[in-house]
Chains A and B, each alone.
Chain A
Amino acid sequence: MQLMEATDFNVTTTPWLVILGLCVVMALVRLIAPKFYSHYLWSGDHKMIGKQFLVSSLLWAVVGGALALGVRWQLAWPGTEVPGFKQLFNWADGGAAPEHYNVMFTMHASVMIFFVIIPLLVGAFGNFVVPLQLGAQDMAFPFLNALSYWLMWPAFVFMAFSFYVPGDGAGAGWTSYPPLSETMLGDGQTLWCMGVWFVGWSSICGSVNYITTIVKMRAKGMQLFRMPLTAWSILITSILVLCATPVLGSAVTMLLMDREFGTSFFVPAARVVSETAQATGTGQVILWQHLFWFYSHPAVYILVLPAMGMVSDMLANACRKPIFGYRPMVYSMAGIAFLGFIVWGHHMFQSGMNPALGRTFMIATMMIALPSAVKTFNWLATIYRSQMKLEVHTLCSLAFVSMWIIGGLSGIFMAATPVDIQIHDTYAIVAHIHYVVFGSTLFGVFGSIYYWYPKMFGRFMNKPMAYTHIIITFIAFQVTFFPMHVVGSRGMLRRTADPYFYGNLQGMLPVNQLMTVAALILGAAQLILAVNFFWSMFAGKVCTERNPWKATTMEWNTPTPPVGHGNFDVIPVAYRGPYEYADPAAPEDFTPQFQPLTSAEKAQGQARAH
């Protein structure tokens, strides 16, 4: 058994020891300070778990962001040391060598996807917001909920250790295609697999919980089609997670077995390992790609659907206007989720997969752009003839809508198979990814932080800081990522430490330096958010109102912050749809879901019933 071998001691044992140590610490805390333990550590309260996810994701975002800047640094000044990386990651070359470049982009993407975006959207906001929006006292399974958070910790430990193991970290890309991911000698890749495996478990625990909660625990009157879109998006996302994540888990397990236990799921015939050795298996290299993308395509929608839901809530609030086409919004999310399962092959057009299949996937991919377009039009129609109110979450949701258009449109190029030949694996793909995940999702997340912060912590975030953050981020984002469309389609490859090795890419150095400078500004701007986030927790303007944004959904019917475990001090009842803004018959421009029907409304309802 390889696990037991003495030479492997450091690698496979130390992280486990650390995890064990963490458990011991937890147990001790439980003994010494049981109150602290059950409130801040193993809390069953969805609000606390949401905050836990929020804080740990934001901390990992710092790591992910630093790695991204390392990547950009190399692209602007190839072969030079990235300031601080020598100390940070214990790399003698300070990230200048290609092996460390590979680790940087691999871990950047892995951290951002698995530790930042997914936990932020589903773990943090799903947890905090959804039960409140449903009028529920808590999630259906508090234990499972806490488990889903604490399962992230082994993943954190494994991934963190993967930087420091001998033979270097995981450097086969976040997609970790074998055989590269199997022939990489460093144990970082093994730890990467372990990390992803635990993230998968965490996601599965979470999704079961969300589905049950949303199906079973809605308050009186909260019919499915009265749920705010955030709740809808989390329901649909959870179904995606539940169906897709086991596939990733299996794939990662197979990869681990291939690496450590000599199986050959992905080992093809006659693969040369070294000068003298040849590995012969009966496996299929491309099998991994099918399994991986069967998870990861739905996963890219997991990365955006909840943000779509949250932005819909914020946009209606910002515009003081009902969401245009509430039901089409729901149906299009469901459509995206369904189609999301039959388009994975669009990541594999050039992979050696039978090109006849490529055509099928191309058509499905074209179709998935359709619900995306419908949502865009609905958001635009929501803004039309609205009465926008200037708040930070207004700007964020507007940024989301405008950036989503770009990310969605660039997807059409890649869906067109002949065009994809040219842009696959280039910076055009990187541009696409970042317009959807940064431009859209992350702006949605920023907005959500500013929007729900008062409900979470009972204080407002500082507004001038928030505006500065959003405006700098927006501008720096465009300068960083827009030119990538152009350099990418001209042939600049992704995942190359020194693209200027190629004569035909040499001319792109100045543009890349521009992008890097913008990226550095972009990174620095996030410090404003970090400062604001933690500073406001203690010194922000106190919010005593229940409903500071004059919103219509159920979470604004709780005290601020919501009372202990149980949330509501009144019995929550939903009397109407989620977006009753601007009703001309109402006394105010918003009529919350929890506001009892007026006698006129009652009469109207009865008249309709007869």
Chain B
Amino acid sequence: MAQSNATPTSRPVLLVLALALVVLLCYGMRVAFEKPSTALKLALPASAGVNATFTLEDGSRMPGTGNLLVDDELVAVQRITAEGSPVNSGILLLTNQHTFKVLERGAAGTKAVDHAAGAAVKEPGTLFFPENFASFGDAVDELFYLILWITGIAFILTEGFFLFCLFSFWGKPGMRAAHTHGNHKLELIWTLIPAVILVAIALLQAGMWKSMKMEIPEAGAPNVFEAQVAAKQFEWNFRLAGSDGKFATADDVPAVGELHVPVGRKVRIVQRSMDVIHSFFLPNYRVKQDVVPGLAVPVWFDTSRAGRFPIMCAELCGLGHTKMGATLVVHEVAEFELWLKAESTKWASENDGIDRPDWSGASSKVWWWWDQNDVAVHYQGETTNR
């Protein structure tokens, strides 16, 4: 038999090298997957409250530019959007780049502000996903990292084997490759093992998907806060029921570009689009749902901490798509009640107490349209209303 093999002696060496590479890469994965992208751990005093500005140790006041001590790292930040938006913890201040820009990060320096000792601060996002604040989000992230581990190991094993072959099997003159056309047992093994893994992944997520997309909290159930989203080119319109708790009444609170919700509630949103498909994307809450003209698609998430979070439009909707952003503002409960009451009264008087008003303002047209064209709340292909 003209049996093969380029360099039979160097083969074990290569094999060891390949294995070492595998171990090394696995270790690298461990480090990379678990490394927080920002090591910002600091909470500003909760007493700071709404619309507070902070005096920083270097004397400057927020808004403006200042330094914060985060763990033992000195971070220079600058407020870049309007003053006075509510900020009540350092972590939000730093991750909420809508409001602040991190100018510079360096070694320990002066202590910038008082620490709110013991305030719960979540680990910020890892290498791949942005920070999560939704209750179902942790499971999603875990699933993501589980798949990352499985595929990562599959990747390292297959590519490791590939590299091993790549270095070991260059032809030598007069040598012949192994003469084999296949091996049924091997084929069976490498069909069954991935099959089991894939089915396992499939089963694992079924419940998760159900709780995210199919078990939408009922309107009116306790602890459920309702909001409406009307998307149009290129603007997010939001409406909250006013003090009377009902929609399509005079005291509804409309807003453009800002969705205000209280902390600690399940937020149930009904979305409709006036023109083309948009997609409601809340990266920090693991929420994405297309907003489809002709349907009223439900979506939900819950809020666990106050702060401001980006809302993005994820579906191409035309020329202004790239600028179709908005902000989710999560308030502390007490502060939210006050805010809603004030807004609600303001709008009620503006509408002269008339329900379904034929508002004249540009954004109110949206709600006029909404109230005139009722659509049952459902996904496509679903007959029952929610």
Footprint of B on A, CB under 8 Å?
Answer: 98-99, 101-102, 171-173, 177, 179-180, 183-184, 268-273, 283-286, 319-328, 350-359, 362-363, 366-367, 369-370, 373-374, 376-378, 380-381, 383-390, 398, 401-402, 405-406, 409-410, 412-413, 416-419, 421-422, 424-426, 485-486, 489-491, 493, 495-499, 501-504, 506-507, 577, 579, 581-584, 589
- Which residues of chain B have C-beta atoms less than 8 A from A376's C-beta? 158
Which range contains the number of B residues in contact with the other chain?
A: 35 or more
Known: A324-B182, A366-B202, A412-B147. A501 touches B323 (CB 8 A): yes
Complex Cα distance, B102 from A507, in Å, reads: 10
A410 → B minimal CB distance (Å): 8
**Could you tell me if B181 and A324 are in contact, using CB atoms closer than 8 angstroms?**
yes
A to B CB contacts below 8 Å, 20 in the list: A179-B277, A270-B375, A286-B295, A320-B177, A321-B178, A352-B292, A354-B381, A357-B381, A358-B209, A367-B198, A377-B158, A385-B4, A388-B169, A422-B286, A489-B129, A502-B310, A503-B310, A504-B283, A583-B179, A584-B179
Minimal Cβ-Cβ distance residue in A for B309? A504
Which residue in A421, A424, A581 is a CB contact (below 8 Å) of B140? Answer: A421
Is B314 an interface position by the 8 A CB rule? yes
Which residues of A sit under 8 angstroms from B97, Cβ to Cβ? Answer: 503-504, 506-507
Q: In the bound complex, do residue B380 and residue A418 qualify as a contact, i.e. CB atoms below 8 Å apart?
A: no
Complexed CA–CA distance, A411 and B254 (Å)? 40
For A419, give its contact among B143, B294, B318 (CB under 8 Å): B143
* Structural contact, A350 and B1, CB atoms closer than 8 A: no
A579 CA to B177 CA in the complex, in Å?
12
Contact partner of B380 (CB less than 8 A), chosen from A284, A359, A485, is A284
A322 touching B165, Cβ below 8 Å: no
- Cα A413 to Cα B148 in complex, Å, equals 8
Does A286 lie within 8 Å of B169, measured CB to CB? Answer: no
Q: Which of B82-90, B114-122, B189-197 contacts A (4 or more CB under 8 A)?
A: B189-197
Chain B 244-287 interface 0/1 with A at a Cβ cutoff of 8 Å (1 = within): 00000000000000000000000000000011110101010011
Contact assessment for B128 and A286 in the assembled complex, using a CB-CB cutoff below 8 Å: no
**Is B359's beta carbon under 8 Å from chain A?**
no
Q: How far is the CA of A591 from the CA of B274 in the complex (A)?
A: 67
Check if A268 sits within 8 Å of B294, measured CB to CB.
yes
Complex contact A352–B369 (CB within 8 A): no
Is B195 touching A370 in the complex (CB atoms < 8 A)?
Answer: yes
A366 with B158: CB separation less than 8 A: no
Q: Roughly how many angstroms separate A49 CA and B240 CA in the complex, as a whole number? A: 63
The 8 Å CB contact of B187, one of A325, A383, A406, A498, is: A325
- A422 near B140: Cβ-Cβ < 8 Å: yes
Which residues of the other chain, B, contact A272 by a CB distance below 8 angstroms? Answer: 232, 274-275, 369
**A271 x B294 contact (CB < 8 A):** yes
For the complex, give the distance between the alpha carbons of A369 and B375 in Å. 39
Known A-B contacts: A269-B375, A273-B275, A416-B143. Give 12 more (CB < 8 A): A98-B321, A102-B319, A183-B318, A270-B293, A286-B292, A386-B177, A390-B170, A413-B144, A418-B143, A426-B314, A503-B80, A504-B310
Q: Given the known A-B contacts A352-B297, A506-B97, are A496 and B209 also in contact in the complex, defined by CB atoms under 8 Å?
A: no
B316 with A412: CB separation less than 8 A: no
Asked if residues B279 and A350 are in contact (CB atoms below 8 Å), the reply is: yes
Once the chains are docked, how many angstroms separate the CA of A496 from the CA of B382?
32
Once the chains are docked, how many angstroms separate the CA of A370 from the CA of B198? 8
B260 CB to closest chain A CB (Å) equals 19
Please tell me if B162 contacts chain A, counting CB pairs below 8 Å.
yes
B177–A385 touching, CB < 8 Å: yes
Q: Is the CB of B294 within 8 A of A269?
A: yes
Bound form: Cα–Cα A490–B161 in Å: 30
User: Are A413 and B169 closer than 8 Å at their CB atoms?
Assistant: no
Is B334 part of the contact surface with A, judged by Cβ < 8 Å? no
A589 touches B176 (CB 8 A): yes
Please report the C-alpha to C-alpha distance between residue A482 and residue B266 in the assembled complex, in whole angstroms: 37
Interface residues of B in 139-194 (CB under 8 A from A): 139-140, 143-144, 147-148, 150-151, 154-155, 158-159, 161-162, 165-166, 169-172, 175-183, 186-187, 190-191, 194
A418 adjacent to B323 (CB under 8 Å)? no
Q: How far is the CA of A102 from the CA of B166 in the complex (A)?
A: 42
Complex Cα gap A180–B2 (Å):
65
Which of B144, B194, B214, B316 makes the CB contact (< 8 A) with A370?
A: B194
A380 to B160, CA, bound (A): 11
Interface: B14 (CB within 8 A): no
Check: B108 CB closer than 8 A to any chain A CB: no
Taking CB atoms, residues of chain A closer than 8 Å to B283 are 422, 490-491, 504
Question: Min CB distance, B202 to chain A, in Å?
Answer: 5
B2 & A584 in contact (Cβ 8 Å cutoff): yes
A495 to B6, CA, bound (A): 49
Query: Which of B98, B181, B318 contacts A326 (CB under 8 A)?
Result: B181
Q: Is the CB of B182 within 8 A of A268?
A: no
Contacts of A498 in B (CB 8 A): 322-323
A477 to chain B, nearest CB (A): 15
Q: Which residues on the B side are within 8 Å of A409 (C-beta)?
A: 151, 154-155
Interface pair A180/B6, CB less than 8 Å apart = no
Given the contacts A412-B151, A416-B147, A425-B315, A581 and B177 also touching, CB distance less than 8 Å: yes
With A180-B276, A321-B177, A362-B205 known as contacts, the answer to whether A503 contacts B96 (CB < 8 A) is yes
The 8 Å CB contact of B130, one of A184, A401, A491, is A491
Which of A326, A328, A485 has the most chain B CB within a 10 Å cutoff? A328
Bound form: Cα–Cα A356–B148 in Å:
25
Given contacts A374-B191, A385-B4, contact A350 B312 (CB under 8 A): no
- Contact partners of B328 in chain A: CB under 8 A: none
Decide if B57 is an interface residue (CB 8 Å cutoff).
Answer: no
CB distance from A325 to the nearest CB of B (A): 4
Cα-based distance from A251 to B287 in the complex (angstroms): 30
Across the interface, B171 reaches (CB within 8 A) one of A389, A402, A424, A501, namely A389
Q: Per a CB cutoff under 8 Å, which of A370, A383, A385, A422 touches B162?
A: A383
Contacts of B171 in A (CB 8 A): 320, 386-389
Q: A271 to chain B: closest CB distance in Å?
A: 5
Q: Which residues of B contact A417 (CB under 8 A)?
A: 205, 208-209, 213
CB pair A180 B212 closer than 8 Å: no
> For A173, what are the chain B residues with a Cβ–Cβ distance below 8 Å?
316
Task: Determine the chain A residues whose CB is within 8 A of the CB of B177 once the complex forms.
Answer: 319-321, 385-387, 581-582, 589
Q: In the complex, which of the residues B6, B97, B150, B312 has the most CB atoms of chain A within 10 Å of its own CB atom?
A: B312
Q: How far is the CA of A102 from the CA of B276 in the complex (A)?
A: 15
Among the listed B2, B209, B321, which residue makes an inter-chain contact with A362, where contact means beta carbons less than 8 Å apart?
Answer: B209
Residues of A within 8 A of B144 (CB): 413, 416, 419, 422, 489
Query: Residue A269 contacts which of B125, B208, B373, B381 (CB distance < 8 angstroms)?
Result: B373
Contact A366 B129 (CB under 8 A): no
B375 surroundings in chain A (CB, below 8 A): 269-270
Asked if B182 and A327 make an inter-chain contact with CB atoms under 8 angstroms apart, the answer reads yes
Using A172-B316, A270-B294, A367-B198 as known contacts, say yes or no to A499 and B286 having CB atoms under 8 A apart: no
Is the pair A350, B205 in contact by a Cβ cutoff of 8 Å?
no
List the 9 closest pairs (A to B, CB-CB), nearest first. A268-B294, A503-B97, A387-B171, A321-B177, A270-B373, A325-B182, A355-B213, A385-B178, A354-B381
Chain B minimum-CB-distance residue to A179:
B276
B351 an interface residue at 8 Å Cβ cutoff? no
Query: Does the CB pair B275–A355 fall under 8 Å?
Result: no
Q: Is B347 an interface residue (CB 8 A)?
A: no
Which residue of A has the minimal Cβ distance to B173?
Answer: A387
Check B143–A98 contact: CB distance below 8 A.
Answer: no
A421 touches B212 (CB 8 A): yes
Whether the Cβ atoms of A353 and B381 lie closer than 8 Å is yes
Once the chains are docked, how many angstroms separate the CA of A282 from the CA of B185? 56
Please, which residues of chain A bring their CB within 8 A of the CB of B165? 380, 383-384, 386
B186 contacts across to A, CB distance below 8 A? 377, 381
Q: Contact between B275 and A179 (Cβ–Cβ < 8 Å)?
A: yes
CB pair B310–A363 under 8 Å, yes or no, is no
Question: How many whole Å from B255's CB to the nearest CB in chain A?
Answer: 19
Which of B139, B176, B275 lies in contact with A418, CB distance below 8 A? B139
Q: Which residues of B contact A583 (CB under 8 A)?
A: 179
User: Shortest distance in angstroms between A170's beta carbon and chain B's nearest beta carbon?
Assistant: 12
- Given A272-B274, A402-B159: A98 and B320 interface contact (C-beta under 8 Å): yes
